[in-house]
Chain A
Amino acid sequence: MQTASQGVGELSEKAGYFPVPDAHLYTVLHQVTDPVARVLLVGPFASERHFSYRPWVRWARYLAARRIEVLRFDYRGVGESTGLFEDMSFDHWQEDVQTLTDWILTRSPKVPLMLHGLELGAILAARIFDSGLGDALLLWSAPANANQALRSSLVQWAGLGQLTESPENRRTATQYIGELEGGASIEVQGYQWTSRLWRDSFEVVLPDAVSPTNLSHWASTKRVRSVNLGKDAAPLVKPHLIYDEGKDLSWLYEQNFAWVEGVLTLVSGGNDARSY
Chain B
Amino acid sequence: MLEVIETRELIELHDVEGIVRGTYHKTHAVTLDSQSNQSKEHRVGILFVNSMSPTRAANGDAAVYLADSFAERGYPSFRIDLPGFGDSDGDPAPDLHSFVNLGGYGAITSAKIGQLVARFNLTGVIIVGQCAGAVSAIHAAAASKECKGLVLMGPYFHLPQGKTPAKPREQVNPWYATGRFGKIWVSASTLHKKIRSFLHKNSPPQNANFALLRLWKQVASKGLPILVLSVPDRKASGVKGKAVEFDYLKYARELAGRKSRVVAKVADGANQSFSNRPGRESVRHHVELWLNACFPVKDQLQQKMSALQVGRSEVEHQRETREDYLYQ
Which segment of A110-118, A142-150, A188-196, A251-259 sits at the interface? A188-196
A51 to B237, CA, bound (A): 31
User: Chain B contacts of A14 at CB under 8 A?
Assistant: 1
Contact B3 A17 (CB under 8 A): yes
A172 to B225, CA, bound (A): 42
Nearest residue in B to A190 (C-beta to C-beta)? B60
Specify which of B4, B54, B236 is in contact with A51 (CB 8 Å cutoff): B54
A189 to B234, CA, bound (A): 18
A221-242 near B? 1/0 per residue, CB < 8 Å: 0000000000000000000000
* B62 on the A face (CB < 8 A): yes
Specify which of A13, A80, A164 is in contact with B23 (CB 8 Å cutoff): A80
A19 to B52, CA, bound (A): 31
User: Chain A contacts of B94 at CB under 8 A?
Assistant: 246
Specify which of A18, A57, A191 is in contact with B1 (CB 8 Å cutoff): A18
B76-89 near A? 1/0 per residue, CB < 8 Å: 00000000111100
A80 to B11, CA, bound (A): 13
* A21 on the B face (CB < 8 A): no
Q: Is the interface of B mostly helix, strand, loop or mixed?
A: loop
Contact A164 B275 (CB under 8 A): no
* B272 on the A face (CB < 8 A): yes
For this complex, into which size category does the number of interface residues on chain B fall? Answer: 35 or more
Q: How far is the CB of B114 from chain A (nearest CB, A)?
A: 22
Contact B276 A17 (CB under 8 A): no
User: Chain A contacts of B277 at CB under 8 A?
Assistant: 187, 190, 192
Specify which of B2, B3, B57, B272 is in contact with A79 (CB 8 Å cutoff): B57
A146 to B12, CA, bound (A): 35
User: Chain B contacts of A27 at CB under 8 A?
Assistant: 1
Interface pairs (12), CB distance under 8 Å: A13-B19, A15-B10, A15-B87, A17-B5, A24-B5, A28-B87, A54-B86, A79-B64, A169-B234, A190-B59, A190-B277, A191-B61
